[in-house]
Amino acid sequence: PTSQELWPHRFLHNNDSWDGRGTLPNGCRGPILLYTGNEGPIDAFWPSNGFMIEVLAPKLGGLLLFPEERFYGKSMPLPWSAENLKYLTTAQVLEDYVEVINHVKSTLPGASNCPVVAFGGSYGATLTALLRASHPTAVVGGMAASSELGYYDKERWAEHGVTEFTFDDIVTGDYGTALTECLPAIQKVKAVIEATDEETLVQTFHLCDATALGANKTDLFTYALEEFPQIDYPYAIGSTPAKPVTYVCEMLVAAALEDSNTLLKAAANVTELALGFDGSCVPFMYGPGNTPGDGPDLASWGWQSCTETLHAFSARGIREYTFDYSSSKDLCARIFNNIPLPDMSSIARAFGGYALADGSAGVSHLIWSQG
C-alpha cells in the first residue's frame, strides 16, 4: 500500500451471552457470530437480526459482531465523492471484515482461538458466501439468507429457472398472495395518480418538486412498493410494521372502497413509510422508474450498482420496465461524471456464482436459505 493512514471503522458487538456457556476445548469462551454488514448504517440492521441476537447467541454462548460496510453509516474511509468511491468494492469490503475479525481476536481476551461463523441477508448474504469462499481461515462457515449472488451469474440463469422478470414476479406475487384484492387496488391507485395533477401530487406526497415523482407519475409509488417484500419481517422494525406487505395491502384495499382522495392519501402514506419520511420533503432520486430492486443513484449503493451489482431486471407486474444495459451505463456516467462502468458479472467471475451453492467450487460449510 502507498498509505498507512487509518480510518474509523464502526462495528457493533455484544457479549451478553459470551459468558463461558459456549466454552470450547481450545479455550475459546464461545464462537464469534459475525453479521456481514451490507448497504446501510449497521445499527439499522441490528433490530432485524433476532435469529442471531435472540436465538443463536444465547444458545451457543456467542459473541455478536456486526461490522459496517465502508462508505455507509459512520464508516467513511474518505469523504464521500465520486472520486473516492473507487475504494468501495466488494473485495475491499471483505478485506475490511477480515481486519475487524483479526482486531477483535487480538484485542479481546479469550477470543484469539474462537471460530467465526458469518451471517448475512440479501447483498449481505452474498458477502457472507464470498467471505467464506475467499477467506476460509477467517470464517469456518456461513449462513446466506436470500443471497442475490446467482443474479450476477447470468450465464447460468436458464438452468436455475431465473429470468429477467424473476425479481419482479416475486414482488408481484407477494402482494397477490397477501390479499386477493391487493393487486387490483394497486392498479386503481396508479390510475388515480395518473389522473391527478402534479401540484396536488407534490402536496399529497410531500415532494420537494414534481421531479421526485419520476419520469412517470406512478414511478415513485411503485418504487416504494418494491421495498416492502424485501423487508417483510413478521415483527415490527422501527416505524415499519410487522408483515408490511400485508399491512400495505390492507391499507390500499380499504382505501380503494372510498373516494379517490382517500386512496391518494393512502398511496402517499405507503410511499412515505417505504422511504422513511422524516417530515422533510421527498427529493428527486434516480431509482424510481429504473432498475427494479434499486440500481444506479447518487448514493453508495448506486455506485455499487454502477460498478459491480447492477441487476439485469425487467418488470411486468406492478409496473412495466425493460432492462437496457446501454441506458443504465449512460445513467451511471451522468450520475458519477463518467467514472464507473457497470460490470454485471465481475463478482461471479472473481468469486464464483452458482458454483458456490452447488458445491462445484469446492467451498464447504455454507447454508443457503430464503428469508
Helices (H), 196-243: 198-204, 219-225
Which pLDDT belongs to residue 278? 85
Q: Is the pLDDT of residue 132 over 80?
A: yes
Structure-model confidence comparison of residues 4 and 230, the more confident one: 230
Q: Is the pLDDT of residue 1 over 60?
A: no
Cell numbers found for residue 63? 459473541
Q: Is the pLDDT of residue 3 over 70?
A: yes
Mark residue 259 as left, alpha or beta (left: phi above 0; alpha: psi -120 to 50; beta: remaining).
beta
Which pLDDT belongs to residue 277? 85
The pLDDT of 31-39, averaged and rounded, is: 98
> What confidence tens digit (pLDDT) does each residue in 160-218 have?
999 999 999 999 999 999 999 999 999 999 999 999 999 999 999 999 999 999 999 99
User: Residue 1's Cα: distance from chain center in Å?
Assistant: 31
Task: Please state, in angstroms and as integers, the Cα–Cα distance from residue 165 to each residue in 46, 56, 71, 173, 317, following that order.
Answer: 31, 35, 30, 12, 9
Q: Is the pLDDT of residue 284 over 90?
A: yes
pLDDT category at 5 given cuts 50, 70, 90 is confident
Q: Is the pTM of this model over 0.85?
A: yes
Please count the residues of the chain.
Answer: 371
Handedness of CA 80, 83, 84, 85 (dihedral sign): positive
Q: Is the pLDDT of residue 371 over 80?
A: no
Can you list the domains of the chain with their CATH numbers?
11-153+352-369 (3.40.50.1820), 161-345 (1.20.120.980)
Q: Is the pLDDT of residue 113 over 70?
A: yes
Which pLDDT belongs to residue 122? 95
CA–CA–CA angle 355, 356, 360 (5° rounding): 50
| Half-sphere CA count of 145, side-chain side, radius 13 A | 16
Q: Is the pLDDT of residue 367 over 90?
A: yes
User: Which residues, listed in sequence order, are joined to residue 143 by a DSSP beta bridge?
Assistant: 119, 367
